[in-house]
């Protein structure tokens, strides 16, 4: 594939990921008001978020395995169509069970989109290019999740259902564009002969323990646990402790997300080349943990903004680093590895907010303390594993062994 064609394909993949994560973000500010139409509140709100993550957990490994066997394009397009239809279903819902159906289907669609896109990037990039490619996809994820909530709040002023219809329609248009533009690239290396053809998600999770990148998957789980813990707690923390208005909270979230996206797009590849992905992961695990501790003690809007931004930048740097390392280790199982990556991410996204909500009822500071302890523990695990099992990762290189 020529470099020009590769840039076009990466742009389409970034657009698809942006649309997916923007659709996820659009729901955040709209859902509490939307649920009032059904006479339900916080309990359903939390479970709807969990249903989305649960569907991703179930279907990400399946998406990875199928795309390893049959190629990527079909499953990206199918995921976008399912995702688009699910958003429209959610906007048309007249019963609570339809809301759950819509969110579950959204998770299924997102599982096929995100897993297959990461595997597709691995297929079309060389080992040297992979860090930059994963960084661009990570930037699209961060940008979508950053812009989505603000866009959802604005669109809801037109009509409470409109954000869901727009997200669904744009996703279906993206599916059509992908059908026209994306080449049907096959995996670089065919599925290994000894790879099991049919496994349920639990068997695939068990098999992931034996992979050379299992510790990196633990980092994925821990990182997403901490990120979702922080994000789900921050709004309530700032409201209860400092009486922040919704606009203040939106600024804190948006500025940090924007700073992370800009840095990710322009310097992440340089960091990988100079220091290696593992050093980027280790440093930013520490930065994220320290930021969570600092959040308990700081006050003043601009200091809080600085600490929250530091945390979000650390998270933005970790994501492409782990994606790149997993892809380098995966060899002939890019789809399976991407599926496991997304499955562990989904577990973190399920458990983090649920546990954070319980801990927040105990004390405002406990979710941040617990999240920091988990991140510090993950740093120790990753550092010990690297020193004993993969010392070459402490140096910048283009390949793993």
Task: Find all residues with CB under 8 Å of 77, minimum gap 6, and list them.
Answer: 175, 178, 179, 182
CATH superfamily of 202-401: MFS general substrate transporter like domains (1.20.1250.20)
Rounded mean pLDDT, 74-88:
96
Q: Do domains 1-185 and 202-401 have the same CATH topology?
A: yes
In 3D space, the residue among 178, 191, 193 whose CA is nearest the CA of residue 65 turns out to be 191
Domain residues of the chain, as ranges?
1-185, 202-401
pLDDT of residue 327: 85
Residue 47: both structure tokens together: 């479970």
- Fold classification of 1-185 is Growth Hormone; Chain: A; (1.20.1250)
Task: For 269-309, write each residue's pLDDT tens digit.
Answer: 888 888 888 999 999 999 999 999 999 999 899 999 999 99
Q: CA–CA separation, 87 vs 84, rounded Å?
A: 5
Average pLDDT, the chain: 84
pLDDT of residue 104: 95
Q: Which tops the pLDDT comparison, 396 or 252?
A: 252
CB atoms within 10 A of CB 223: 27
The C-alpha angle 85, 319, 368, rounded to 5 degrees, equals 100
Q: Are 146 and 25 in contact (CB under 8 A)?
A: yes
Dihedral Cα 291, 295, 298, 303, nearest 10 deg: 60
Rounded mean pLDDT, 353-379:
84
Task: For 1-55, write each residue's pLDDT tens digit.
Answer: 677 888 899 999 999 999 998 888 788 767 777 888 888 765 676 678 778 888 9
């Amino acid at each position: 594939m020529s470099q020009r064609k590769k840039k076009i394909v990466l742009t389409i993949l970034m657009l698809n990921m942006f649309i997916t994560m923007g659709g996820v973000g659009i729901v955040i500010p709209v859902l509490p008001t939307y649920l009032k139409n059904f006479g339900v509140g916080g309990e359903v709100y939390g479970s709807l978020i969990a249903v989305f993550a649960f569907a991703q957990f179930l279907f990400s490994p399946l998406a990875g395995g199928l795309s390893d066997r049959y190629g990527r394009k079909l499953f990206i397009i199918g995921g976008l169509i399912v995702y688009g239809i699910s958003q429209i279903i959610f906007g048309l819902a007249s019963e609570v069970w339809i809301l759950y159906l819509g969110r579950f289907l959204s998770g299924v669609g997102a599982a096929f989109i995100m897993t297959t896109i990461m595997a597709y990037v691995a297929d079309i990039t060389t080992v040297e290019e992979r860090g930059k490619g994963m960084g661009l996809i990570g930037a699209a994820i961060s940008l979508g999740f950053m812009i989505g909530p603000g866009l959802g709040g604005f669109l809801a002023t037109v009509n409470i259902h409109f954000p869901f219809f727009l997200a669904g329609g744009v996703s279906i248009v993206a599916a059509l564009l992908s059908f026209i533009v994306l080449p049907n690239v096959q995996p670089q290396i065919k599925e290994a002969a000894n790879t099991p053809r049919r496994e349920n998600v639990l068997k695939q999770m068990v098999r992931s323990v034996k992979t050379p990148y299992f510790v990196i998957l633990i980092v994925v789980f821990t990182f997403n646990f901490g990120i979702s813990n922080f994000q789900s707690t921050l709004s309530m923390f700032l409201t209860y402790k400092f009486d922040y208005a919704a606009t203040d909270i939106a600024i804190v979230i948006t500025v940090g997300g924007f700073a992370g996206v800009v840095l990710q797009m322009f310097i992440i590849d340089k960091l990988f080349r100079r220091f290696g992905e593992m050093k980027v992961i280790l440093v930013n695990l520490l930065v994220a943990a320290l930021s969570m501790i600092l959040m308990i003690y700081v006050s003043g809007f601009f200091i809080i903004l600085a600490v929250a931004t530091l945390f979000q930048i650390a998270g933005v740097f970790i994501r492409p680093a782990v994606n790149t390392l997993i892809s380098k280790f995966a060899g002939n199982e890019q789809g399976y590895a991407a599926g496991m990556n997304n499955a562990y991410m989904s577990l973190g996204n399920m458990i983090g907010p649920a546990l954070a909500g319980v801990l927040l009822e105990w004390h405002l500071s406990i979710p941040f303390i617990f999240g920091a302890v988990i991140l510090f523990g993950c740093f120790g695990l990753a550092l010990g594993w690297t020193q004993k099992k993969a010392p070459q990762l402490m140096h910048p290189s283009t390949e793993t062994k």
